């Protein structure tokens, strides 16, 4: 029988209403497992590992990402796959971070959650959970895992984790990956798009990474952006990486002071990544002169990556390298399918 480890971190899926305030709060998941009789009918042995103090995913942080890596490493050989129950709010950040922290991953790590708690009548949690377990246990005829990647499964879609974004705070259709196709679609059957799924090197072990450098920030351009604010931001002590959310195909206002501040920051070793504010489509800095000026100021293209992924990749690389030239090289290539470099 295949074995899957269910790691419960918190999130709406396992929450209940506080009788005093009416607000949702994380509950002990082992109590809730009894409310999901369907689990007994899946031909997969499921063990539950729960965070000592389950959290709302707004409280997720790099220490807890490292904790998730430790849990996966400690159980790696005993399970066919892992399902992480996680709040939807920061799920795309966690999925992106884990994709870099679990190098050469040879087993499925599927993150899921729900918009309604699992003990509610109309919950989306049951289907998300049960299908995620099936995907985490799925294998090819040769016995190799079907999806050896960090993914998000939600509302019928299996998405590459580091390509995913939360798109809806209300609807069950909470995630999508605008710049990369789904890895599988679950309807009556689960249809896997095998040609899109990463193939690890099975002759090498999975290599865990634990260190992330949080000296990073996300900054969004808008018409009327203030010079003093941007100068102040880029003078922040310990700042080593910036994700700049630009217009359209990676465009920016042609303000001499902005280019000068960015050039100076790059010269001081700050790595600046250009990610578009658009939900879909890539950055192409040579298309308009504003983008071209950014390129000349040392700003690196984020290609078609998400903000969540750019920030996680920067934290990971900054945690491993001190030389900004090396970090820039790694930002310009896909480590685990997170960007399409033309
Ligand atoms: N606030 C919740 C969380 O992210 C929302 C959810 O789980 O959907 O933990």
CATH architecture classification, 216-331 = 3-Layer(aba) Sandwich (3.40)
17-21, 61-65, 98-102, 177-181: segment of lowest average pLDDT: 17-21
Sign, CA dihedral 59-63-69-73, equals negative
Q: Which atom of ligand 1 is nearest to the CA of 90?
A: 4
CA of 109 to the centre of ligand 1 (A): 19
> Is residue 220 annotated as a catalytic residue, yes or no?
no
Determine whether 111 is exposed, middle or buried from the number of CB atoms within 10 Å of its CB (0-12, 13-18, 19+): buried
Residue nearest to ligand 1 atom 1, measured at CA: 56
Query: Which CATH class for the 2-208 domain?
Result: alpha beta
15-50 pLDDT, tens digit per residue, is: 888 888 888 887 777 766 777 888 888 899 999 999
pTM of the model: 0.96
Q: What is the structure's pLDDT at 66?
A: 98
124 pocket-lining for ligand 1 (C-beta < 6 Å): no
57 pocket-lining for ligand 1 (C-beta < 6 Å): yes
Give dist(CA 259, CA 265) in Å, integer: 10
Give dist(CA 342, CA 338) in Å, integer: 13
Which of these is catalytic: 9, 12, 123, 165?
12
126-184 pLDDT, tens digit per residue, is: 999 999 999 999 999 999 999 999 999 999 999 999 999 999 999 999 999 999 999 99
Can you give the residue ranges of every domain in the chain? 2-208, 216-331
Give the phi and the psi of residue 110 in degrees, each rounded to 5.
-110, 120
Q: Quote the distance between the C-alpha of residue 180 and its chain's center.
A: 14
CA of 128 to the centre of ligand 1 (A): 14
The secondary structure of 4-48, three-state, reads EEEEEEECHHHEEECCCCCCEEECCHHHHHCCCCHHHHCCEEEEE
Most confident of 15-29, 47-61, 64-78, 288-302: 64-78
The residue to mutate among 57, 64, 92, 111, having the most atoms of ligand 1 within 8 angstroms of its beta carbon, is 57
Give the residue among 116, 36, 48 at the shortest CA–CA distance from 84. Answer: 48
């Amino acid at each position: 029988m295949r074995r899957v480890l269910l790691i419960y971190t918190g999130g709406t899926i396992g929450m209940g209403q506080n009788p005093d305030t009416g607000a949702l709060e994380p509950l002990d998941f082992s109590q809730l497992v009894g409310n999901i009789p369907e689990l007994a009918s899946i031909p997969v042995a499921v063990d539950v590992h729960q965070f000592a103090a389950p959290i709302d995913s707004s409280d997720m942080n790099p220490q807890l990402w490292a904790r998730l890596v430790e849990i996966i490493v400690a159980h790696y050989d005993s399970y066919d796959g892992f399902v992480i129950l996680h709040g939807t709010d920061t799920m795309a950040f966690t999925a992106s971070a884990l994709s870099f922290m679990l190098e050469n991953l040879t087993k499925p790590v599927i993150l899921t959650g729900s918009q309604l708690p699992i003990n509610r009548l109309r919950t989306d949690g049951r289907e998300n959970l049960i299908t995620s377990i099936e995907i985490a246990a799925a294998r090819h005829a040769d016995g190799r895992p079907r999806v050896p990647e960090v993914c998000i499964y939600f509302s019928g879609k299996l998405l590459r984790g580091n390509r995913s974004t939360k798109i809806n705070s209300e609807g069950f259709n909470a995630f999508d990956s605008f710049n990369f196709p789904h890895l599988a679609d679950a309807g009556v059957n689960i249809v896997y798009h095998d040609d899109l799924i990463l193939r690890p090197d099975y002759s090498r072990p999975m290599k865990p990474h634990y260190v992330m450098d949080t000296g990073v920030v996300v900054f969004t351009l808008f018409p009327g952006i203030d010079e003093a604010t941007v100068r102040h931001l880029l003078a922040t002590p310990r700042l080593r990486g910036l994700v700049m959310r630009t217009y359209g195909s990676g465009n920016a206002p042609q303000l001499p002071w902005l280019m000068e501040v960015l050039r100076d920051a790059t010269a001081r070793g700050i790595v600046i990544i250009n990610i578009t504010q658009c939900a879909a489509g890539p950055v192409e800095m040579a298309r308009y002169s504003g983008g071209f000026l950014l390129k000349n100021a040392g700003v690196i293209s984020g290609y078609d990556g998400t903000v969540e992924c750019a920030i996680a990749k920067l934290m990971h690389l900054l945690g491993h390298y001190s030389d900004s030239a090396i970090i820039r090289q790694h930002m310009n290539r896909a480590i685990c399918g997170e960007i399409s470099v033309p």
